[in-house]
Amino acid sequence: MSLQLLSDFSLLAHNTFGFDARARHAMRIDSVDAAVALATDARIANMPQLVLGGGSNIVLTRDFDGVALIVGMRGKRVIGEDGDAWLVEAGAGENWHDFVAWTLAQGIPGLENLALIPGTVGAAPIQNIGAYGLEMGERFERLGAVELATGARMEFDRAACAFGYRDSFFKRAGRGRFMITSVVFRLPKAWTPRAEYADLARALDAAAKPDAQAIFDAVVAVRRAKLPDWTVLGNAGSFFKNPVVSAPAFETLKQREPGVVSYRQADGQVKLAAGWLIDQCGWKGRGIGGAAVHDRQALVLVNRGGATGAQVLELAEAIKRDVLARFHVELEMEPVAL
């Protein structure tokens, strides 16, 4: 198999921040066979490789002196069912939101809370995307991947993926080593709405018992109201994770800052709303050059036009310093910086 090796490739259309970085080379990988062939392709041997899906979780701070691998496997299908659930599979290059809409059109609910999240199906497990009371890991069955160094085809079940809050094996020990090629979801037949998240509950008609489509529509409406559309205003969604602190640390903080927005976790630790912390530090709407804090959601950094990845990271550092100084809480960046 001989794939086309592109040169001096613009990544502008391949990162949702809209940074005009370039890759020395690029290849479009549209099949599992093409992914397998990479390991024995002499043209790219020993070249740094960057696997790119929708580019919705990356901050490009420079040109990439290697080969960008643009993931393009397509296909969506119901692959089976048992008494409890449907199994639905999608190619890694499918657009996530289109896939969610497609499952509902098949009469299979279960992913509706994750509507309108930018990016591809293959990127979803890497950071275990989550929103409005649901994490992808809860609906995940397995994924197919190719190990870049060897071309070996592999399968990862839920345990192997080690999902956590915006976290997985693929952000840790597995980082940069695999190309995810397809993902299988297990969508339970016994569907119950997840509509407790405050913003979502408000958007739904309190009197009616919402169906999956109503939740999908409400999630889309809430996201459109709060989160910038990256095609208009470049961004990578939440720029920081919501930090998790110990119960004693939370009690100390709560005494000093009674208004702090928090969510107690099953293990007794407490998750803090990073957007609130940043907002309280007065950052909403402010920025450095073209890089700014979104004026409706302080957790989202945006490219107001002409920003560089370096400016976004500089802004992020300034925010981290202020939050640390005032709340003694360390923020952790969510997207990957290159």
List, by residue number, the catalytic residues. Answer: 166, 238, 334
Annotate 7-18 with b (16+ C-beta within 10 A) or e (fewer).
eebebeebbbbb
Toward ligand EPU, which CB reaches closer, 72 or 228? 228
Tell me the longest C-alpha to C-alpha distance in the chain.
64
Toward ligand EPU, which CB reaches closer, 178 or 276? 276
DSSP state of 139: G
Cα end-to-end distance, the chain, whole Å: 30
Toward ligand EPU, which CB reaches closer, 49 or 242? 242
What would the two tokens of residue 326 be?
């005032």
Give the span between the Cα atoms of 225 and 37, in whole angstroms.
44
Give the span between the Cα atoms of 332 and 326, in whole angstroms.
16
DSSP state of 168: -
Give the span between the Cα atoms of 2 and 325, in whole angstroms.
54
Give the span between the Cα atoms of 146 and 99, in whole angstroms.
22
Contact (CB, 8 A) for 270 and 252 = no
Q: Which residue lies nearest ligand EPU, judged by its C-beta?
A: 237
Residue 333 dihedral angles phi and psi, to the nearest 5°: -65, 140
Measure Cα distances from 267 to 244, 247, 264, 271 in Å.
Answer: 11, 10, 8, 11
Contact (CB, 8 A) for 327 and 257 = yes
Toward ligand EPU, which CB reaches closer, 241 or 326? 241
Toward ligand EPU, which CB reaches closer, 199 or 217? 199
Contact (CB, 8 A) for 318 and 288 = yes
Give the span between the Cα atoms of 15 and 10, in whole angstroms.
10
Give the span between the Cα atoms of 245 and 247, in whole angstroms.
7
What would the two tokens of residue 322 be?
């202020």
Residues of this chain that bind ligand EPU (CB under 6 A):
131-132, 197, 199, 226-227, 237-238, 241-242, 261, 273, 275-276, 279, 284, 297-299, 334
Contact (CB, 8 A) for 234 and 303 = yes
**Residue 323 Cβ vs ligand EPU, minimum distance, rounded to whole Å:** 13
